[in-house]
Structure 1
Amino acid sequence: MSSSSYGAVLRLPAVARLYVVGFVCRIPAAMVGVVLTLHVVTSLDRGYGQAGVVAGASTIGIAIGAPWRGRLVDRLGLRRAIAPSVVVESAVWLVAPHLGYHALVGAAFVAGLFLVPVFSVARQSLAVLVPPAQQRTAFALDSVLVELTFMLAPVVGVLIATQVSTTAALTVVGVATVGGGVLLMWADPPTRSQRPAPVLPADLDAPAHGLGAAAPARTRVVTPELVVLLVAAAAASFVLIGTDVALVASLNDAGRPGDVGWMVALWAGGSVVGGLVHGARSSSPPPLVLVVLLALAVVPAAFAPVPVWLALAVFVAGLPCAPTLASINATLVRIAPEERRGEVMGWSGTMSTVGNALGAPLCGWVIDHVHPGAGFLTAAVVGGGVAAGGLAVQHVVRRRRGGTRALAAAEVSSPGR
């Protein structure tokens, strides 16, 4: 595998700085889940189910807020769009470590609703800074850095929560969240290109403005290709969260809960390797095919007889993770109109959140009633089945389009009456 493609991307103006800023700003998002759980369970003396309610409130806030905040970035520009997020997050995280349980649920929702959209902004900016021919490599490297963030940040959060206090850990999350927002505003990476906006065709159905001028048509955003990608994002998230839950359950069932940390790191390590290989290649399968491969790669973990084999299986399961996410993101920014790209990336985040929200309880229910290995199979069958269904629908639509075009061509070539 040659590293020349990565060097070429990093030498592009402002790209290396964007990666550094994105990595730093994503740290609190990767840390907050485990810190909130530990705070609710240990400091507030509540159960894991109640900790899940707090996490669920944050998830709902993120799902609602992501498209809205993305649209603000499209309309107002980065700094004006995220300034309210920085202000609100400052207020929330100032008081959150000192709140009771029920107030913390509300605070978690507000924090999710106004979460600084660093994930989508970084990808929007990559689409502007990196030429299309190099975007596969750029998005693969971005996915690898995300994996590294989620390998390191939770460990730091757990160390602070256990060695100091969960109040201190939540305060660190808050400071890092606000600091990340300020850093992003300072860096102000471009989310729109500098070229003039294209002249859109006139909307013939709209009333005229001025002397016979027609109002410009709204750019079409929802297309079959976009729907396919949103389905892929939800299916991939379902597989990933299901694998996560099943891995923890399998190790607990084997009496080895202490192995969870390094097993998750090994899973993420497989994703890093897969992402680097993906970015160095000149082509890859479509996103839905990669989701199917992601699901298939999880299956061996369901039949691992001992932890050593489970470790090998989770490494293999990690290999398609970063390639799948990188392919979805790269395709999204390619098909989304630039003036609506932030909103589209927000919808992608929402669909990923939906996949997480459905995958965790369903796989958990199957684990409780069957066996931890069944959790891996559920993640693979449901997520892979959704992706395979999307491929089937895509195939039928393309065949119908091909038939329609052939019929139209035949009518044009036939002699008129």
Structure 2
Amino acid sequence: MDLAPFKHVLLLPGVRPLALLMFFARMPPAATGVILTLHVAVTLDRGYAAAGLVGAAGTVGMGLGAPLMGKLVDERGLRSMLAISVTASAAFWLTAPLMGYWVLLVSSFFVGLMGVPMMSIGRQAITALVPEHQRRVALSVDSISVELSFMAGPALGVFVATRFSTNAALMFIGLSILTAGTLLYWANPPMLHEDEVVDGPKPKIFEWMRGRIVGVLVVCAGATVCLTGMEVSAIASLEHLGKQSWLGVVFFAMCAASIVGGLVYGGVKKAPSVLVLVVLMAAFEIPVGLGDGNVLLLCLLLVPMNLMCAPLIAASGESISRLAPPTARGLAIGLQGSAFTVGNAIGAPLAGVAIDRGGAPYGFAVVGVAGLLVAVVAWALARQRQRVIPLPVG
């Protein structure tokens, strides 16, 4: 593993400020799920089923909204999208403490639909700052940044909610999104690399949304089926042991393994394909259930599959940026976000059914097998010949 490529990428103009900004900008979205759950279940006293419904409404909204926001970036630019999404997001989170349950439920869908797609913005912006031969390393940096945000964001949100109140935490998220969105608006990072400026008519979606790029999106969905199912199964395993207090340690081990994987992936000379990565992730998940009943063994068995997490995010982003036309990159990366969302929506209930039938080990095994089946579908799609779209270069 050679870390020199990371140094070279981080020395490129604009990369370090963007990586730092996106780290802080992604912390509030990382905390929204746990804060909304605590607010609905505890503060509003509606229970966890009602909290899950609010989370599901937001998830559906995000799945539909990410491509729309990406298309808006392609057609109108980043600032136009931010003006709409930051206003909508800040308005929701700052007024959420005043909402009753049903208003919160409906509003969560719309804030998901119109909210700031921080994950997609970061991937597209860092792609635009580096030449194509350095995208793998740049997207590895971005994936590591995501993991760090997910390590810090929920912990900070829970601290505010428990130290003060969930109402304070909701308003803190709103102010954080408003601040991060304003800084992004001011920075206005490019969304296309300077060598990718094109003239002429934009290609239609059916001209490039086929074959290999669809296969990559299927892989993204399959990967999050594995990851979400892993999280649910890990929670069930710890709850069965009566050691829920160790959940933070287990999740820290997952994130740390992913960060190490991102460093290795960005530093090797020949990286595995996105299809190989999802096969390894799914295969390594199947035996994780052997650690049920032992926290230390569970953490150790979770390491191999989580080593694939950040590399898979980086590899899929690199593939999409290469296969989609530059003028439709926002839409394509938005569709990647939707694929991740679909995987989240499938993975949790799939693991839940398996856990109810046979316990946490079945949860790990079933979603692992599902990931392998998804990889077969992606492999079949990848074998299709990709149509090359000629684009006049300006």
Scaled to the shorter chain, the TM-score interval is: over 0.9
Residues 4-49 of structure 1: CA deviation (Å, up to 9, x unaligned): 1111000001011110111111111101000000111110111111
Partner in structure 1 of residue 71 of structure 2: 71
Question: How far apart, in 2, do the equivalents of 1:83 and 1:169 lie?
Answer: 23
Question: How far apart, in 2, do the equivalents of 1:324 and 1:154 lie?
Answer: 22
**Structure 1 gaps, min length 5:** 201-214, 402-417
The structure with the largest alpha-carbon Rg is 1
Partner in structure 2 of residue 245 of structure 1: 232
Paired residues, number: 385
Residues 194 and 132 of structure 1: CA distance in aligned 2, closer, same or farther (over 3 Å): closer
1:8 aligns to 2:8 (yes or no): yes
Residues 276-308 of structure 1: CA deviation (Å, up to 9, x unaligned): 000001222221121011111212311115211
Q: Contact 1:60 / 1:109 at 8 angstroms: preserved in 2?
A: yes
Q: Contact 1:237 / 1:356 at 8 angstroms: preserved in 2?
A: yes
Question: How far apart, in 1, do the equivalents of 2:47 and 2:204 lie?
Answer: 49
Q: Contact 1:12 / 1:130 at 8 angstroms: preserved in 2?
A: yes
Please tell me the root mean square deviation across aligned C-alpha atoms, in Å. 1.8
Question: How far apart, in 2, do the equivalents of 1:199 and 1:15 lie?
Answer: 26
Residues 147-226 of structure 1 mapped to structure 2, 5 A cutoff? 147-195=147-195, 197-198=197-198, 218=204, 220-226=207-213
Partner in structure 2 of residue 293 of structure 1: 280
Question: How far apart, in 1, do the equivalents of 2:295 and 2:378 lie?
Answer: 34
Partner in structure 2 of residue 143 of structure 1: 143
Partner in structure 2 of residue 326 of structure 1: 314
Residues 285 and 167 of structure 1: CA distance in aligned 2, closer, same or farther (over 3 Å): same
Question: How far apart, in 1, do the equivalents of 2:215 and 2:202 lie?
Answer: 27
Question: How far apart, in 1, do the equivalents of 2:321 and 2:344 lie?
Answer: 22
Q: Contact 1:221 / 1:340 at 8 angstroms: preserved in 2?
A: no
Partner in structure 1 of residue 218 of structure 2: 231
Residues 82-104 of structure 1: CA deviation (Å, up to 9, x unaligned): 10112222221221112111111
Question: How far apart, in 1, do the equivalents of 2:50 and 2:199 lie?
Answer: 53
Following superposition, the deviation at residue 179 of structure 1 comes to 1.4
Following superposition, the deviation at residue 315 of structure 1 comes to 2.0
1:42 aligns to 2:42 (yes or no): yes
SS of structure 1 residue aligned to 2:208 = coil
- For residue 163 of structure 1, what is the amino acid of its counterpart? R
Partner in structure 2 of residue 411 of structure 1: none
Aligned residue among 289, 297, 313 for 2:301 = 313
Question: How far apart, in 1, do the equivalents of 2:313 and 2:335 lie?
Answer: 15
SS of structure 2 residue aligned to 1:45 = coil
Following superposition, the deviation at residue 3 of structure 1 comes to 1.9
Partner in structure 1 of residue 391 of structure 2: none
Question: How far apart, in 2, do the equivalents of 1:114 and 1:143 lie?
Answer: 23
Following superposition, the deviation at residue 196 of structure 1 comes to 7.2
Question: How far apart, in 2, do the equivalents of 1:274 and 1:192 lie?
Answer: 27
Q: Contact 2:30 / 2:149 at 8 angstroms: preserved in 1?
A: yes
Question: How far apart, in 1, do the equivalents of 2:231 and 2:100 lie?
Answer: 29
Partner in structure 2 of residue 133 of structure 1: 133
Partner in structure 1 of residue 390 of structure 2: none
Following superposition, the deviation at residue 192 of structure 1 comes to 2.0
Query: What TM-score results when the alignment is normalised by the length of structure 1?
Result: 0.89
Residues 80 and 2 of structure 1: CA distance in aligned 2, closer, same or farther (over 3 Å): same
Q: Contact 2:286 / 2:366 at 8 angstroms: preserved in 1?
A: no
Aligned residue among 338, 346, 352 for 2:340 = 352
**Structure 2 gaps, min length 5:** 388-394
1:110 aligns to 2:105 (yes or no): no
Deviates more, 1:188-197 or 1:221-230: 188-197
Aligned residue among 312, 325, 329 for 1:337 = 325
Partner in structure 2 of residue 82 of structure 1: 82
Residues 157-176 of structure 1: CA deviation (Å, up to 9, x unaligned): 11111111111111111111
Partner in structure 2 of residue 367 of structure 1: 355
Partner in structure 2 of residue 207 of structure 1: none
Question: How far apart, in 1, do the equivalents of 2:101 and 2:381 lie?
Answer: 45
Question: How far apart, in 1, do the equivalents of 2:249 and 2:24 lie?
Answer: 22
